[in-house]
Amino acid sequence: MSDENLSMNDEPVVISSLVVETVSGKTAAVAADLAAREGVEVHETQGHKLVVTIEAATTGASHAVASGFAAVPGVTGVNLVYCNFEDEFAGR
């Protein structure tokens, strides 16, 4: 994790992590596609599974990003593991 990704620390942030499942042989291509998306980082590849985090302003924005994964060729499953939204509620 780079500090560059943590520079916007005064804005609300929802941090979530997911396991994205892919078709064998397309894992690297999917990883590259996801990593190019705003707020998305790919941290690890385990077989056909990718460990991914999303940082976005709201739960809804996180969900929108995650929902977009399903349309990436080679993605067969998007599984939410963790979602922290303490900033979002703090802002209410």
Query: What residue ranges bind other proteins (CB under 8 A)?
Result: 1, 6, 9, 12-13, 15-19, 21, 23-24, 43-44, 46-53, 55, 59-60, 62-64, 66-67, 76-87, 89
- What's the CA gap between 44 and 87, in Å, rounded? 26
- Tokens 């809804």 correspond to 60
We find the least distance from the C-beta atom of residue 85 to other proteins, in angstroms, to be 6
The token pair at 10 is 């005064």
**At closest approach, how far in Å is the CB of 71 from other proteins?**
13
- Residue 51, beta-bridge partner list: 19, 44
Residue 28 or 79: which CB sits closer to other proteins? 79
Nearer to other proteins, 36 or 47 (CB): 47
How long is the chain?
92
Choose between 22 and 33: whose C-beta lies nearer to other proteins: 22
Q: How many helices (H) and strands (E) does the chain have?
A: 3, 4
